[in-house]
Structure formats: structure tokens, C-alpha cells
Amino acid sequence: MTTLRAEPGADDVRAAPTPTGHLAHNYHPLPVRLVSGEGAWVRDATGTAYLDLLAGYSALNFGHRHPALVAAAHAQLDRLTLTSRAFDHDLLDVFADRLAGLLAPLLPADLVLPMNTGAEAVETAVKAARKWGYDVKGVPDGRATIVVASGNFHGRTTTIVSFSSDDDARRGFGPYTPGFRVVPYGDADALAAAVDEATVAVLLEPVQGEAGVIVPPAGYLAAARAVCDRARALLVLDEIQSGLGRTGTTLACELAGVRPDLVTLGKALGGGIVPVSAVVGRGDVLGVLTPGTHGSTFGGNPLACAVGLAVIDLLETGEPQAMARELGAHLHARLAAMVDDGLLLGTRGVGLWAGVDVDPAWGTGRDLSEALLARRVLVKDTHGSTVRIAPPLTISRGDLDQGLDALGDALR
Ligand SMILES: *Cc1c(COP(=O)(O)O)cnc(C)c1O
């Protein structure tokens, strides 16, 4: 990897070539156009190497083109790629059983329902919770509520943006799906007050990713668990970004010692190769979804299962989680030193995952992302003044230090 080292301080970053004009404008990417990647490094067409400290919003927890994941995908491409769920295939039960086995110590992982994107997994959890509420809990038809937290990010569908507190994500997309109550994130009392007998679920991110890596106060998830138990509501944790190693544990909820009823997984489950998501949890909840009530043409396809199984193999070694703990301690120590030196307003996070607040006197999060791009380091701003740092869990300590040196240099 040494041949791919970036040169901190270089300033001849080329703007991406002019787009053809047909691409919709629903993103504002940094001006870099990538053509290849390996591990924590990516290259543009000129051969310039960049250190990737975003890792596809944690879809690339195992880095770009991890050899074991690519090998699994290649082998499956030569066997069978899609059957639809009209027919069974030889990896589907195996994938469900292995994923349930990985998570069995952490929650009642009775059933696994595979989907593709994260938003679909959240939609699946919402549908299952509502139907469970009517069929099992006995909530009067049409009355189910789900309590969610402000600052949430659960995806982009019309139902999901209905309970977003981000005006850009929500405005203009109504009429909105009713049945959601939004309470401040991290406030256990507000959560308790919002839950009543018609509440079928509380849906939370154990750590809010898009909001800027917001770790809730100690005891918050345990309090949510207790509220759900009292009201006979489901605790649904969205681990799409926080799960699968990022926090130094297989799931973020492990850190709080809390067992959810359902979890949504996505992003890293597809190994950075194919979209793979799933809802995992209680049999009496996911069991309410019977043939014809829910599904997906691509959900649980052979290629997705092959890659997902290879991801589970990696996580079962415990190595990615250990790397996140070890490198995460180093990351947070170095970021805290930058706060002490007055380079950053604040920093927070857990595992190999941090949100840093840029001093507005220095510039915006976007300015910092661009200053780092000029130093061949890729990060992305969120919500104005925050920059998220989430390197692949496979990054070397030397490469991580190189990225953090560039951060310090950019801020100076
Ligand atoms: C990214 C994300 C989603 C949505 O996933 P998509 O694959 O983009 O639909 C949902 N929840 C959380 C917590 C996420 O980070």
C-alpha cells in the first residue's frame, strides 16, 4: 500500500470533468471522480490516490474490494445470481441461519427477512411492527403509533421522510404518512411520555450517524428498553450505519447492554459490493409477514447472500470489531488533542467513528472537506459544521495517522 500514499499538502486537485448534464442533481459531491480502489485507498483517472475516511457511510467497513468479499462475489457470479423469491436457492437459508447465529447473543434473532437497501429494511420493520400491533398486541385498526427521535436518519422513502426532522429531507414530499411521533433524541422522559397503549414500536438509531455521530447519554437505550417493556411496545434499533463492527462491537446496542426486539441492518452487510439489508428479530413479530404481505424481487438473491455470508465470516473472527476498538481509541485521542489545541470546536463518537465540529470562524464542514480533498483525503460534511470520520475498519494505523495529520494541517 505504500505506493498509494497521498502527498499531504499537494494542491493540484483537478475538478471533475463536466458532467454530460443528464444526471439528476440530488447530490452535491466533492469534485473528485474515482475509478479504482483498494483497501482504504481510491484513485482518480490521473492515478492520484486518495485516502478514504468516509468508507461509503460505513458500507465499506471492510475497505474497497476486500479480497475475501470479492472472491465470494466472483465465485457466485459464475454459479447463480438471481432466482427471485418465486424459487428457493441454495444460499438463502444458510444466509438467514448464519446471520441469526451471529446476532443470537445480542437479541432474539429468531427470523431474518432479507431486503436490499437500508430504507427497505426500515420500511419492513415499520410494516412488521404495525401488523404485529394489530394482529398480536390488539391495537385498534389504523391507530398504531411509532415513536422516533428528532435528528433521525432512516432513509428516503415517503413514509420515512414523513418522520424526518430535517426540513430538506421532508419539505415538498407530503402528504405525509401518519402514525409517527417525534421526540428529542437522548431524552428518556420525553420518550416515556410519548409512548402509550397504541404505541407499537420505538424506532431509534443507537448512535445517530447522519446527525453527526451523536452518542446518546448513558442509560438512554436501557430506559427506552424499559419504556417499551412497560407499554408492550417493540424496541426497533436501526443499526444500518452503527452495526457490523463500526463501534468496536458487532452491534452498537451491545455497548449499552440492551437487547432490541428487531434490528435493521444494511450498508456493510453488502461488503461494499451489492446492496444487502435485513431485518432480524423476534419470531412473533417478523412472523406476522406471510406470503403476499411483503417482499422484494431482489431481496436475498444468491449474489447478495454469497457476499453477505463472506461478511458474516469476517465478523465472526471478531477482528474488524477489535480493529475498530483499537484504532478508535487512537482516533479519539488524536481528535481530543486537536480540540485541546483549539483546532476543532468539539469531537465525539465511539469505535472507529467520529463527528468533529468545525469552528465557524475557520469555515464550514464543506470547506474542511475540500481542504482535505486538496490533501488527498476524502471525508464528507453533514449538517453545516460537522465532518464525519469513518475510515474502513481495515485501515492501517499509519494510514489513519496520515489522514489525521492532513486534518491537523488543513485546520492550521
Ligand atoms: C444509510 C442509512 C439508512 C438508509 O440506507 P439506504 O441503503 O441508503 O436506503 C437507514 N438508516 C440509517 C441509520 C442509515 O445510516
**Domains in the chain and their CATH numbers?**
34-65+319-411 (3.90.1150.10), 68-316 (3.40.640.10)
Substitution site in 154, 247, 264 for ligand 1 pocket (most atoms within 8 Å of beta carbon): 154
So what's the pLDDT on residue 106? 98
d(CA 340, CA 325): 22
Q: Is residue 125 within 6 Å of ligand 1 at its C-beta?
A: no
User: Which residues carry out catalysis?
Assistant: 153, 238, 267
Q: How many CB atoms lie within 10 A of CB 316?
A: 12
With contact defined as beta carbons under 8 Å apart, do 311 and 268 qualify? yes
Residue 122 Cα to ligand 1 middle (Å): 8
The helix/strand/coil state of 66 is coil
Collect contacts of 76-85 with beta carbons under 8 A, ≥24 apart: 76/302, 76/303, 76/306, 76/307, 77/303, 79/302, 80/302, 81/301, 81/302, 81/303, 82/298, 82/301, 82/302, 82/303, 83/301, 83/302, 84/297, 84/301, 85/295, 85/296, 85/297, 85/299, 85/300
Distance 263 CA to ligand 1 centre (A): 13
Measured by CA distance, the residue closest to atom 6 of ligand 1 is 118
Contact between 135 and 293 (Cβ < 8 Å): no
Nearest CA to ligand 1 atom 11: 154
pLDDT at 384: 87
What pLDDT, on the 0 to 100 scale, is given for residue 150?
98
The atom number, within ligand 1, closest to the CA of 277 reads 7
pLDDT of residue 77: 98
CA of 156 to the centre of ligand 1 (A): 8
Atom of ligand 1 nearest to the CA of 58: 15
Report pLDDT digits (tens) over 173-182.
999 999 999 9
> To the nearest whole number, what is the mean pLDDT of the chain?
95
Pocket of ligand 1 contains residue 154 by CB under 6 Å: yes
Q: What is the predicted pLDDT for the residue at 383?
A: 86
Question: Ligand 1 in contact with 243 (CB < 6 A)?
Answer: no
Point out the ligand 1 atom lying closest to the alpha carbon of residue 239: 13
Give the C-alpha separation, 19 to 33, whole Å: 11
Give yes or no for a contact between 349 and 314, defined as CB atoms under 8 angstroms apart: no
Distance 269 CA to ligand 1 centre (A): 12
3-state secondary structure 157-225: CHHHHHCCCCHHHHCCCCCCCCCEEEECCCCHHHHHHHCCCCEEEEEECCCECCCCCECCCCCHHHHHH
Ligand 1 centroid from CA 382, angstroms:
14
Does ligand 1 come within 6 angstroms of the Cβ of 52?
Answer: no
Please state, in angstroms and rounded to a whole number, the distance separating the CA atoms of residues 320 and 306.
19
Distance of CA 380 to CAs 29, 44, 162, 349, 387, Å? 9, 17, 25, 16, 6
- Sites in the chain below the pLDDT cut of 50: 1-16
Note the pLDDT of residue 7.
Answer: 42
Grid coordinates in use for 397?
494505523
- Specify the 3-state DSSP secondary structure of 226: helix
Q: How far is the CA of 129 from the centre of ligand 1 (A)?
A: 18
The residue whose CA is least distant from atom 10 of ligand 1 is 154
